[in-house]
Each structure stands twice: as C-alpha cells, then as structure tokens.
Chains A and B, each alone.
Chain A
Amino acid sequence: MASLKQRVLDWLDLRLGLIRPLTDAATHPTPVNSASWLYVFGSAATVLLILQVVTGILLALVYSPSANEAWASLGLLNHTIPLGWYLRALHGWGSDFMIAIVLLHMVQVFLFGAYKFPRELTWIVGVGLLLLTLAMAFTGQVMRFDQDSYWGLGIGASIISRVPFIGAPLVHLLLGGPILGGATLSRFFTLHVFVIPGLLLAAVAVHIWMVLLHGVSDWPMPGRIVRRTTYQQQYHELTASTGIPFVPDAAWKDAVFAAAIILAVMACAFFFGPIGPSGVPDPTIIQTAPKPDFAFLWIYAVLAFLPTSLETPVMMIAPVLIIAALLLLPIFAGEGERHWSRRPVAVLLISVIAVTLGIFTHLGTYTPWSPIMDAWTSAPIPPSLLLNRTPLERQGALVLQDKQCRNCHSIAGAGGQRGPALDAIASRMTEDQIIRQVLQGGGNMPAYGNALNPSETKALMRFLMTLRGNNLAPAIDASTHLTHPTSSPPKP
C-alpha cells in the first residue's frame, strides 16, 4: 500500500518540515560526469566518522580515564570483556583508515581543482576537518595510556616548552599540572570525547551543507576555465543538460565504496587485532624506545634530522606556514584551470609531498638515527673477522663491543645505524683519522677520550685497521705523500 507510506511521510513533513528539504537535497541533480569512482572519498570519510563515534561510545562504557586505571582498563577490554578486543581494534584501525581517506579526499579535490570558486570555503572547512581528524588521532593515542603515550606526551610538552616567553605556562596548561599524570589524561579525554568530536561533527555538517549548496563539482576538462563571473551559470547549464539525481544514480558508487572500506576496517581489526597497549606508563621503566603512531612517524623523523640550531624555529614556524598555505590556497588560486594536465605545479607539489611524507614515514618505522641500546651485548662479530687475527686485534674487537660502539655502528649488518657501518672503515679512513675521530669525536660522534685508556685505544685501532671490507686497499693520506716526498704511500 504505497499511499500509506506517502501518508506517513506527509504527516511527518507537515510536523517536522524536514522530509521534503532532505529529499530535495538527496536527489539534487549532479553532472553525470561527476558520478565517478574518484568522487567517493568524502562520503567514505563521513561513514568512517560514524563508525568512530559508535565504537568510541561503546569503548567509553568500559574505559576508565584515570591515570590509576586507564592502562588496566585497556587490558580488561583486550582480555576479559567479550569482544572488547574487537571494539578496540575497530576503533584503532578505523582511525588509521579515516586519516588515509581524508588525505585521499584532499588530494583528489586538490588535483581536480575542486576547491576553486565557488567552493573555496568548503576547502577551508575541509582543512579544519583534516586538522581535527589529526587531533583526534593524537588525543586517541593518549587514551591508549601506555609507555608510548606517556613519552609521546612528554615530547609534546617539550616541543611546547620551546615557545618563547610563555613556554612554561603552556606546558602546565597542556599537562594540567606540574607533571604528566592524572590531570593530563583527564584533559586529553575531555578533548578526545567532548570538544574535538563536537567541533568535528559541526564542521562536517557545514562542509556537507556547502557541498549540497554548490553541487558536486563537475569533472574538470582541459581548457574549461573557472571564472567568478561565469562559473555558476555554466554549472547550472551543465546540470540542467546532463544532471542526474545524486540519490540513487550517483550515490550507489559512494555506498559501495563505503561498504568496502568498512569491510576493510573490519578485516584489519579481525586479523591484526587491537593496537597496543605497550608497557605500563611508569616513567621509571626506562628500557623503552618510544614511538608515535603511524600518522605521526614522519614528524618523529623530521625532528631527528633537523639541525639543532634550526629546530626551535622550524617547530614554531613550519606548522603555521603549512596551515596558512592550506587555508589560503583557494583564496589565491580560486580561478583558472582545473584539469591536472594544465596544472604541472600542482601535480609536482603533490608528488613531492607524497614522496617526502613516504620517505620520512618509512624512516620513522626503523629509526636509523636511534642507537640500538643492547647491540653491544647482542650483535655478534662474524667469526671471519676474527680468523687469523693477532691477540691484540682480537682484544680490540672486545673493546669495540665493550665500549658500546655497536650501539651506533653496525658490522655485517648488525648494530645501530646512527654512525657509519664499520665493515670497510680502514679503506675509507687512515689510522690517524680514525684515532682522531674516536678520541675527539666530531659530527654526530661523542669524544671517547675519557672512556678509552691508551692500551684500549691501541687494541681498538689494531682491530679497526683490519676492517677493509672485501679486502679493499687501505685508505691513504695523500698529503703525507706530498709533505714527505721520500716516504712512499703504504702498500695495500
């Protein structure tokens, strides 16, 4: 009885007044060329947000936002509460997927020039949504109140403490007190559960409202220039001639993609399980190498590579510049070509940013700049390097292990990567150069003058001089030959 449904809808609409506007919005005409598989990321991000809200509420039923109990309540969720592990996994993986989809959405909008007139404000609100999403990810990492979360917050406090003049009050504001503890967790819980989600939902509503108002942007064509004076008329002619109703003609692709993404989240959650928690957040346990979550690994890498003198300025200024550039983009590039083939700078920019973020994130996964704290007792010296060596040379190998050189230097691929590998060191540096480097330090190497006595130094040198890779020629000091014409360079 079709008329019954209609009668109910009419009854509701008369009282609610929302049925007709919502139907009109859902069925608004959209250019047929924008019903594409590349136009599905925004709706998928919205669906993921709903998943995060629902799983977040369910987790909050058990989670205890107190520094006394947070870590234990995660254990309860993981091990005792039925399906608690799965809810944590869904929420954790959902957050990773959400960041990825939001970024994809942004790249697509950028490459398609969809931020241009009249959709500038839609982009600006979208930048806000990206920042809010990242803020959710960071505060969410704090909710997982473990060692990584503790030291990650410590890093955050240390960065904030570098703000000139008001560093100390800012640190106290961030931590909620003089130390990182219960008050800190409470305020991040408040941000993660009340403040940021509220802003996020409101901004999503505004964002979607503007999408409906201006319509889905048409597929860009080379040579079809966006002008403030003509664009809206052209767009209306386009939708009038080629428009199809968004629901259902275009939206089925959105729905299929959203379902696929949710399935992927479920699969990751089921097969890989929840993320963490790592050890208890007890700062007296110092046997830890804290690491941020995936989305922030690139920042971790950048902080390791910045020269000391540049670090504070870069930390203070770079975020401001990046956010300002994102916000101002549509203001300064609101007109013109939309097609990527006519915007080489845009394509280059995206490529460079993607490669840079990719490389830094990759570096962040294995942190070559960090010493490996137990390499000196765990990384072996291959027997071939000790074969047919004199007692003094073997003693040198012991000194090398005992003085923790392996924490930063690898041999045969084992050991830290902070300093250069030592496999062929004697073919690159002369004995004098090595001695000077070891005893006096330089570059990233501390001076070992106080930690080595002369006999240890002697033994260490004898061993290092045997390290010539695949029997390469030993390094020679060209200047020796010039200043002492009589002495010939040492024979290999």
Chain B
Amino acid sequence: MSEDQINPAPPVHSDPAAHSRRVFLFKLSLALNAAVGAVLAVPLVSYLLGPALKKSSSIGAWIPLGPLTDFPIGETRLASFRSPVASFNDGDTANTACWVRRIADQEFQVFAINCAHLGCPVRWFAQSKLFLCPCHGGAYYEDGSRASGPPERGLFEYRYQIANNALLIHAGDMPTLATQASCKPKPLIQIHPATPQSAESTSPRSSQWPA
C-alpha cells in the first residue's frame, strides 16, 4: 500500500490487488447466483408449462351420451355431457354439447359443437340439412363436411362406441385444429368449395368415419 500525500485517494481504492480480488469475488458471486437461479427456475418453469407438457392424446375418457333410443334413426339431435376432464372449479363451463347424427341402427356420427373455423357453437337446421355457425357464417352439410364459409375443413367428430344399448363417445380436449386428438383422425386441410358434383352425388359427402 503506497501512502501518497500528493494523491490522497481512499486506501480501499488504492490497492489494485485487493480491488481485483473483490471484483473477482463479485463475479464469482454472480456466477453462484446464476447457478442457484437456474436450479430454482427449472421447477418454476415446469410448473408454469405443466398444462402444455401433457400429450393431448392421453387426455380424455369414454363417456355415455344416453340410451340409443334417445337418437332416432335419420335425425340429428343435440346431446350434452359433463366433460370427463372437468375439475372441481370448472362450474358450468365443463358442460359440453355435441350433435349426434344417427345414420343407421348401429351407425352414428357425433360432431363437436365447435366450428372448425374459430370454435363458435354451430347449430343444426333439419329442414335445410345444414349446420350454420353464428360467428362468421360457416356452413356444414349433414355429414359434417364443409359446405361454405371460412372453415377450412369439416366439423370435428368424436370417436364413438355402442355398449349396453347406450352411445358412448371419447371426449377430452376442447376441439380445435391442433387439439382434436380425442376426436376423429381426419385430414387437417380439407378445402372443397361447394362444387357441382356435391349436388349430383351424395356419396362423396356421406363418407363415414366409424371408430
């Protein structure tokens, strides 16, 4: 330590070795904090991302919609169920609706209520045999295929099975373009505007997607 009278700097600053040692210690403490922070962050971030880390194919369960007699052959009826993945605090929001179309005795189509465009609730009109969406005017034919409007594909369909004379569907995720795992596997893009052939032949549209 060189005590210089001409330059009376504070003694703490005047020892370069001590200063550089303290700078080093400070940097070391920063590194230590970064390490502790990283260890702290891992569980915090995985807590935050928890919902996103679940595989959507693993979500959901089979749930009964009611006896087969509730669904007359040739008609499309609204059915509702309590979501099997509901939690204690979901309230009314866990009530879910779906459209059940009974084609034949053992043959069904169960459509999600959510429009394939942006998820608004579609409504069935039996007289014109169309599902219409109130949001942007999307329309679907009775077999769920796209008729017109902004949707780029047909309605989402639930897998179904028949057991003990009752209709069961597999429900889980809220159906969107990305989370339709609990619904039918269907091609993602299915744009076919209303073309002349759809009027002449009903077969291309009434293709079924049995479970």
Q: Which residues of A are in contact with B by a Cβ distance under 8 Å?
A: 66-69, 71, 150-151, 154-155, 157-159, 161-163, 167-173, 175-184, 186, 280-284, 286-290, 300, 303-304, 306, 308-309, 311, 369-371, 373, 376, 402-405, 407-408, 418, 436, 439-451
User: With A162-B177, A178-B85, A181-B87 as given contacts, are A283 and B152 in contact (CB-CB < 8 Å)?
Assistant: no
B37 within 8 A of A: no
Partner of B51, one of A158, A175, A407: A175
With both beta carbons as reference points, the residue of chain A lying nearest to B194 in the complex is identified as: A441
User: With A178-B56, A290-B134, A309-B191 as given contacts, are A159 and B118 in contact (CB-CB < 8 Å)?
Assistant: yes
B46 within 8 A of A: no
B100 within 8 A of A: no
Q: Are A371 and B96 in contact (CB under 8 A)?
A: no
A168 CB contacts on chain B under 8 angstroms: 56, 173, 178-179, 181
The 4 closest A-B pairs by CB, nearest first: A441-B194, A167-B178, A449-B199, A182-B89
Partner of B128, one of A170, A176, A308, A451: A451
Q: Are B152 and A308 in contact (CB under 8 A)?
A: yes
Complex CA gap A408/B193 in Å reads 18
B178 CB contacts on chain A under 8 angstroms: 161-163, 167-168, 170-171
Of the candidate stretches B5-13, B24-32, B142-150, B158-166, the one touching chain A is: B142-150
B134 CB contacts on chain A under 8 angstroms: 288-290, 370-371, 373
Chief secondary structure at chain B's binding surface: loop
Q: Are A154 and B90 in contact (CB under 8 A)?
A: no
Of the candidate stretches B69-77, B103-111, B119-127, the one touching chain A is: B119-127
Q: Are A177 and B191 in contact (CB under 8 A)?
A: no
**A-B pairs with beta carbons under 8 Å apart, 9 shown:** A71-B91, A167-B178, A186-B89, A286-B123, A288-B134, A371-B133, A445-B148, A446-B139, A449-B199
Q: Are B179 and A283 in contact (CB under 8 A)?
A: no
Q: How far is the CB of B190 from chain A (nearest CB, A)?
A: 11
B168 within 8 A of A: no
Q: Are B87 and A183 in contact (CB under 8 A)?
A: yes
Most chain B CB inside 10 Å of its own CB: which residue of A157, A282, A436, A446 = A446
B94 within 8 A of A: yes
With both beta carbons as reference points, the residue of chain B lying nearest to A66 in the complex is identified as: B89
Complex CA gap A281/B139 in Å reads 24
Q: How far is the CB of B37 from chain A (nearest CB, A)?
A: 20
User: With A66-B89, A371-B134 as given contacts, are A179 and B121 in contact (CB-CB < 8 Å)?
Assistant: no
Complex CA gap A286/B123 in Å reads 7
Q: How far is the CB of A316 from chain B (nearest CB, A)?
A: 13
A370 CB contacts on chain B under 8 angstroms: 134-137
B3 within 8 A of A: no
- Report how many A-B pairs have Cβ atoms within 8 Å: 245
A150 CB contacts on chain B under 8 angstroms: 93
Task: Kindly state the interface size class of chain B when it binds its partner.
Answer: 35 or more
With both beta carbons as reference points, the residue of chain A lying nearest to B196 in the complex is identified as: A440
Most chain B CB inside 10 Å of its own CB: which residue of A154, A170, A281 = A154
Q: Which residues of B are in contact with A by a Cβ distance under 8 Å?
A: 49, 51-54, 56, 59-60, 78, 80, 83, 85-97, 113-114, 117-123, 125, 127-130, 132-137, 139, 141-142, 147-152, 172-174, 176-179, 181, 191, 193-196, 198-200, 202
A402 CB contacts on chain B under 8 angstroms: 127
B96 CB contacts on chain A under 8 angstroms: 179, 283-284
Q: Are A451 and B127 in contact (CB under 8 A)?
A: yes
Complex CA gap A155/B116 in Å reads 10
B172 CB contacts on chain A under 8 angstroms: 178
B181 CB contacts on chain A under 8 angstroms: 168
Q: How far is the CB of A358 from chain B (nearest CB, A)?
A: 20
Partner of A172, one of B122, B142, B179, B200: B179
Q: Are A404 and B128 in contact (CB under 8 A)?
A: yes
Complex CA gap A161/B122 in Å reads 19
Q: Are A158 and B118 in contact (CB under 8 A)?
A: yes
Q: Are A172 and B54 in contact (CB under 8 A)?
A: yes
Q: How far is the CB of A415 from chain B (nearest CB, A)?
A: 13
Partner of B129, one of A155, A290, A450: A450
Q: Are A286 and B121 in contact (CB under 8 A)?
A: yes
With both beta carbons as reference points, the residue of chain A lying nearest to B56 in the complex is identified as: A168
Complex CA gap A149/B169 in Å reads 27
Q: How far is the CB of B138 from chain A (nearest CB, A)?
A: 9
Q: Are B91 and A283 in contact (CB under 8 A)?
A: no
B174 CB contacts on chain A under 8 angstroms: 154, 157, 171, 175, 178-180
Partner of A179, one of B90, B151, B194: B90
Q: How far is the CB of B161 from chain A (nearest CB, A)?
A: 21
Partner of A67, one of B54, B91, B118, B132: B91
Complex CA gap A290/B133 in Å reads 11
Q: Are A67 and B56 in contact (CB under 8 A)?
A: no
Q: Are A178 and B127 in contact (CB under 8 A)?
A: no
Complex CA gap A68/B94 in Å reads 10
Partner of A407, one of B91, B94, B132: B132
B151 CB contacts on chain A under 8 angstroms: 308
Q: Are B127 and A403 in contact (CB under 8 A)?
A: yes
Complex CA gap A286/B119 in Å reads 12
Q: How far is the CB of A347 from chain B (nearest CB, A)?
A: 33
Q: How far is the CB of B145 from chain A (nearest CB, A)?
A: 10
Q: How far is the CB of B163 from chain A (nearest CB, A)?
A: 24
